[in-house]
Amino acid sequence: MGTLDPNAGMKDVEERYTDSTNKLDAGALFVLKSKGSWIHCGYHLTTAIVAPALLSLPFAFASLGWAAGVVCLVLGAAISFYSYNLISHVLEHHAQIDRRQLRFRDMANDILGPGWGRYYVGPIQFAVCFGAVVGSILLAGQSMKAIYLIANPDGTIKLYVFIIIFGVFSLVLAQMPSFHSLRHVNLISLVLCLAYSLCATAGSIYASHSDKAPPRDYSILGSSTQRTFGVFNAIAIIATTFGNGIIPEIQATASAPVTGKMFKGLGLCYTIVVVTFFSVGISGYWAFGNQSEGSIISNFIADGVNLVPKWLVYLSNIFPLLQLSAVATVYLQPTNDVLESLSVDATKGQFSARNVIPRILLRSAAIATATTIAAMLPFFGDINAVLGAFGFLPLDFVLPSIFYNITFKPSRRSLVFWINTLLIGVFATLTVLGSISAVRQIVLDAKNYKLFANV
């Protein structure tokens, strides 16, 4: 008998994966380059989930109240962590049988059947992710304008100028060749999200002790109809704040074998999630109650008067602004994947002239398009709410359970089957209700819409 090699199975997986790279298209081969470790996955996950959208959590609490707000936040963390692990297990299973799936649409095609990825999952994911790019550029422009007005209250520079400035910066960052090449950028992003969450929490506590702070009122305002839609809207805000939409693409950046790497990455990410989401959501609502703004940082200035030191207002705007450049670049990756699949020659070198020229041109065009949309539609947050409700909810909370049940076929008597079935039903319903609520908000705000508005 020969000596048994305990690493033989792992070597076999690696050899089969190496052989399969010859069959990959340019998008998978170059953009979704599989060279990362679990900690790199953690960096990517943190940037995709722990973004400046978390600053809106106190606003969501204002429509829910203390008990429902905290419960929804806890459930959002637990269910999203569970759902992302379901996707990871499905991806690991297919990798072990030499059918590694690198994209959400690949999973849909393989598990649900031909056409699902092309006509449903792919378009929804693209819309959500590109919408996140537009939203990040818009939010960054608004942060730049806020900083400008603090320094120069009588300034006359329009919002679209700041949006264009940030768009140019994003255009440069968009040329990073692969998702894996963003690992160091996303490490900095992780530090930045901790920094602005600390500023938001400290600022809320400080402002609450100011003589000019609004009185704390935790009652839920509005008529019964407004409260009902407010609850649906708040749940959609919390759910989409935990949204990701690119779990398969992030796991695709991990080197083979992928087993266990995503779970460790999610562990790192959700450690940051718990620290940031709960500190900002609870402290912001505690300080400002039902007066909490769409971004809690806006509450730091009341009637033109700073409730916190000016330097803290600056930092509270600068840190999210810097992180938004990473967030926009991460959510641009599915677009980059599509563009490279269509325009780049996988048989040529990644940095050959044949591939570099179309890469630069098409990525620049994508950022230019996103910047133009952000400048034209400064009310894009309302549109993004529809995309989030219609996209993030099914991608992150409905499809993972469907994929798992179809792939592993758990017994109908098992707890996991009924948990997954319950999640499918609940979040499919919330997708419909959240979309209706978001569309209603667009109708209500339509009278204020104006192209290139200086809001």
What confidence tens digit (pLDDT) does each residue in 399-446 have?
A: 999 999 999 999 999 999 999 999 999 999 888 887 887 787 777 776
Q: Select from 373, 379, 376, 372 the least CA-distant residue to 446.
A: 379
- Token pair for residue 419? 């948990």
- Reported confidence tier of residue 71, pLDDT bands at 50, 70, 90: very high
Q: Select from 449, 158, 195, 161 the least CA-distant residue to 297.
A: 195
- Reported confidence tier of residue 4, pLDDT bands at 50, 70, 90: very low
- Reported confidence tier of residue 5, pLDDT bands at 50, 70, 90: very low
Residue 278 has pLDDT above 90, yes or no: yes
Average pLDDT of every residue of the chain: 88
- Reported confidence tier of residue 381, pLDDT bands at 50, 70, 90: low
Q: What is the per-residue pLDDT for 21?
A: 46
Q: What is the per-residue pLDDT for 419?
A: 96
| Percent of the chain's residues with pLDDT above 90 | 64
Q: Select from 76, 72, 131 the least CA-distant residue to 382.
A: 131
Provide the residue type at 12 as one letter. Answer: D
* Sign of torsion over alpha carbons 246, 376, 443, 223: positive
CB 227 within 8 A of CB 220: yes
More confident residue, 369 or 437: 369
Give the residue-averaged pLDDT of 115-128: 90
Q: What is the per-residue pLDDT for 20?
A: 46
Q: What is the per-residue pLDDT for 384?
A: 66
Q: What is the per-residue pLDDT for 8?
A: 42
d(CA 195, CA 55): 13
- Token pair for residue 320? 């999210």
- Reported confidence tier of residue 386, pLDDT bands at 50, 70, 90: confident
d(CA 151, CA 453): 22
Phi-psi region of 377 (alpha: psi -120 to 50; beta: other; left: phi over 0): beta
- Reported confidence tier of residue 16, pLDDT bands at 50, 70, 90: very low
Region of poorest pLDDT, from 53-57, 58-62, 387-391, 396-400: 387-391
Q: What is the pLDDT of residues 80-120, one digit of tens each?
A: 999 999 999 999 999 998 888 999 999 999 999 888 988 89
Residue 184 has pLDDT above 50, yes or no: yes
d(CA 163, CA 136): 10
Q: What is the per-residue pLDDT for 12?
A: 43
Residue 129 has pLDDT above 50, yes or no: yes
SS (H, E, C) the chain: CCCCCCCHHHHHHHHHHHHHHHHCCHHHHHHCCCCECHHHHHHHHHHHHCCHHHHHHHHHHHHHHHHHHHHHHHHHHHHHHHHHHHHHHHHHHHHHCCCCCCCHHHHHHHHHCCCHHHHHHHHHHHHHHHHHHHHHHHHHHHHHHHHHHHHCCCCCCCHHHHHHHHHHHHHHHCCCCCCHHHHHHHHHHHHHHHHHHHHHHHHHHHHHCCCCCCCCCCCCCCCHHHHHHHHHHHHHHHHHHCCCCCHHHHHHCECCCCCCHHHHHHHHHHHHHHHHHHHHHHHHHHHHHHHCCCCHHHHHEECCEECCCHHHHHHHHHHHHHHHHHHHHHHCHHHHHHHHHHHCCCCCCCCCHHHHHHHHHHHHHHHHHHHHHHHHCCCHHHHHHHHHHHHHHHHHHHHHHHHHHHHHCCCCCCHHHHHHHHHHHHHHHHHHHHHHHHHHHHHHHHHHCCCCCCC
Residue 74 has pLDDT above 90, yes or no: yes
d(CA 278, CA 78): 13
Q: What is the per-residue pLDDT for 153?
A: 86
